[in-house]
Structure 1
Amino acid sequence: MKKTNISLSVAIAMCLLTSSPAFSEDSPFGGSLRANYSYKDYSEASKEKLGDFEFNLFALQINHKWDDYGVAMDYRFNNGYQALRYGYAFWDVNEDLTFNAGAIRKPFGNINFSSHSWWYSLNYYLGFEDDNGLGLGVKYQNGASTTELAFLKNAVYGTTDHRDFSGTVASGTVGDITYDNEETNTISGRQSYTISNGELTTILGVSVEYGQLYNGQFNENGDTFNYAAHMDMNYDGWGLQAQYLAFDFDQYDDGAIDPNKIGMGLLDGFFEVASKGNIFTANLSKSIPTSWGNYTIYNDFSMVQPDFAEFDDSILNTTGVSVGYGNFFVYVDLYNAKNVLWLGGNSLGLAQGNDDWDHRFNINFSYNL
């Protein structure tokens, strides 16, 4: 796929993290209409035009419950691109136990998100933040303990259709290298504990997953094994998130690929990342409620550290503020990136083209229906 098409998909679809849709008691429907402004110092066209302002997307959400049963869905529409983010049915057996089935979120890493910004953290691009797959899940809460397990048969859009809303090991071609991989039969689990002491709330957790990487051309298998330790702390409006994550995508080596690299599909694009390494995440935030809306000031940091000497780290630091007022929600972000896909780079955790820092200023506007 051409780089221009990949960039367009990112510009259209990279606003997944936003305020919740405003469901009313009388209607199960919600949604949002979004637009985006960006100024990129690594793009001559962006600098000459003083940035770009464009339609983002229209999102439709459904969340409805009948007694102990319900459904939830998020579908995205835009100019030439549409896809399902998630869609599942759920059963609340009781107030502690819930089952769900369909296109469900993978239980892995910090609860909800490992970031505050519109661009997410680097975890997202390798499939460890807001990742959904087709399968079955269960959640059990017992006091301070929360246990979540899921079996994911495969990605929402399979292996050659790259419309998944988080990085997914998939089949495709980069340059003259063709990857033939499919994520399937993945077991993912997260165990967390919530500790409360006055205004201080701390969520400590660990996550692990193991799955099959199937090569359809040779009818052979590789596997993936990933694990993480994470913390989410809040005190009087202050928030601190931290996470250490180790990933290992051990694909079948057909002799034509570099096994230290692997292909990922995301947002209608296909790109390469290091096949083994670590991701470090550290985020600091402060929420400020006012009569003019709810403000959250944040600094999100994430780094992909490959496990191969010939490759270089990918680093992303985001400083920003989000504002929610009525049905409106806005992100104002400054991204500082080195060797980062779609922020001046074309991969994650591979050899960098130069030692420069790239910068992007971004404002994302959302009206929630």
Structure 2
Amino acid sequence: MKKLNITLSASILMALASQTALADDLNVGGSVRGNYSYSDYSDSSQDKLGDFDFNLLSVTFSDKWNDIGVKAEYRFYDGYDHLKYGYAFWDVNDDLTINGGVISKPFGNKGYASHNWWYSLNYYMGFEDDYGVGVSAQYQKGSSLSEFAFIKNAVYGGTDHRDFAGTVAKGTVDGTTYNNEETNTFAARQSFTLTSGDFTTVLGASVEYGQLYNSDFGENGDTLNYAVHLDMNYDGWGFQAQYLAFDFDQYDDGQLDPDKIGMGMLDGFYEVSSKGNIYTANLSKSIATSWGNLTIYNDFSMVQPDVEEFDDSILNSTGVSLAYGPVFVYVDYYMAKNVLWLGGNSLGLAETHDDWDHRFNINLAYYF
């Protein structure tokens, strides 16, 4: 059934593109991506000398009429598809923009908190490149950027786990059933951009508060998360840092461990620590050449749970990306300890083994 849905969705998107391709302000694009990986924690990967797979097909739309516009991206994977974002926006004036639809949550380092294809651990906890259904506003005045959002709920609700980033959701892991869904979340980010010659520094802080609704009992828990973040650039060098404190305080129905909570994303469901800190530190260097732009980087992130019996989750990503015309390539080497989908099965819980896991990864993308 999912393959049929993908075919129908693709047909609809291509039909829309063909009908509107002549519009002056409409931009239709997307990407096709493939991925090679070699993982030392997978016997089959080692036996086959790695795996090369279709990664995704994405289709993007944008259009604007005077001060009103729309933007959307839909993605197709092997076995499922989902909307990453899709919203209308209104440029009220030169300083203020209002958005409505499936919008980006203003929280943490603006843009990305990482350079590599796997992102940082913030992403899997719901704090990087995260989206939800709601309204938002951005107010830019000089060096100050103020962003606010009200997110009513996750893009696909509580039981469908196709959301793009980690989302508190309903599901079962190893016999434990979680019955939470994110709703009525308020998020805000304030940042200041300071420049001096070639040196640019973006200082910021973020906060979010929202409900965690348990439909079985008709009760609410809540979540309160905050972060301070820094992004510095000088002559091609970049440094990012972030401290983030998270607290998912779900309704205690007496049937689960309140120190754990279930999350869904990218058609998967998993457990994470419900309270703790996330530390991020990234260093990069961009090099312009006559045949493309190179970025060399090392990205580090760590989830530190607020429970003595649990263990830290650590991810270090060393790599290089290449942008050459419509082609973009990531070449990454991941070292992970107690990390979901990188040799581990959770984030910030008791580790299943005391070893470091390693993965070599190449992601190839063609943008059209």
Both structures adopt the same fold (TM-score exceeding 0.5): yes
Structure 2: state its 5+ residue gaps.
1-20
Match of 1:203 in 2: 202
TM-score (norm 2): 0.93
Match of 1:193 in 2: 192
Match of 1:149 in 2: 148
What is the SS of the residue equivalent to 2:121?
coil
Distance 2:33 2:26 in 1: 21
Q: Does 1:223 align with 2:222?
A: yes
Match of 2:346 in 1: 347
How far residue 25 of structure 1 moved from its aligned partner, in angstroms, is 7.4
Taking only the aligned residue pairs, the percentage that are identical comes to 70
Structural mapping, 1:143-182, within 5 Å: 143-182=142-181
How far residue 26 of structure 1 moved from its aligned partner, in angstroms, is 6.2
How far residue 280 of structure 1 moved from its aligned partner, in angstroms, is 0.0
Distance 1:79 1:274 in 2: 29
What is the SS of the residue equivalent to 1:158?
coil
What is the SS of the residue equivalent to 1:115?
coil
Distance 2:332 2:359 in 1: 8
Distance 2:208 2:26 in 1: 37
Distance 1:246 1:37 in 2: 34
RMSD: 1.1
Match of 2:29 in 1: 30
Residues 306-341 of structure 1: CA deviation (Å, up to 9, x unaligned):
000000000000000000000000000000000000
CA contact (8 A) 2:25 2:64 kept: no
Q: Does 1:280 align with 2:279?
A: yes
How far residue 78 of structure 1 moved from its aligned partner, in angstroms, is 2.6
Distance 1:340 1:56 in 2: 21
Match of 1:255 in 2: 254
How far residue 79 of structure 1 moved from its aligned partner, in angstroms, is 2.6
Distance 1:95 1:284 in 2: 33
Distance 1:329 1:67 in 2: 32
Residues 108-166 of structure 1: CA deviation (Å, up to 9, x unaligned):
00000100000000000010000000000000001000000000000000000000000
Match of 2:316 in 1: 317
Structural mapping, 1:65-104, within 5 Å: 65-104=64-103
Distance 2:233 2:71 in 1: 28
Counterpart of 2:311 in structure 1: which amino acid?
A: D
Distance 1:219 1:67 in 2: 45
Distance 1:149 1:251 in 2: 24
Match of 2:357 in 1: 358
Q: Does 1:264 align with 2:263?
A: yes
Stretches (4+) displaced over 6 A: 23-26
Q: Does 1:64 align with 2:59?
A: no
Distance 1:307 1:108 in 2: 21
Match of 1:337 in 2: 336
Greater RCO (Cα-Cα under 8 Å, separation 6 or more) = 1
What is the SS of the residue equivalent to 2:124?
helix
Structure 1: state its 5+ residue gaps.
1-22
Distance 1:179 1:82 in 2: 24
How far residue 27 of structure 1 moved from its aligned partner, in angstroms, is 4.5
Distance 2:81 2:179 in 1: 24
Counterpart of 1:335 in structure 2: which amino acid?
A: Y
Match of 1:8 in 2: none
Distance 2:29 2:163 in 1: 21
Match of 1:10 in 2: none
Match of 2:13 in 1: none
Match of 2:7 in 1: none
What is the SS of the residue equivalent to 1:165?
coil
Residues 182-241 of structure 1: CA deviation (Å, up to 9, x unaligned):
100000000000000000000000000000000000000100000000000000000000
Counterpart of 1:153 in structure 2: which amino acid?
A: K
Q: Give the length in aligned residue pairs.
A: 347
Q: Does 1:307 align with 2:306?
A: yes
TM-score (norm 1): 0.93
Distance 2:277 2:336 in 1: 17
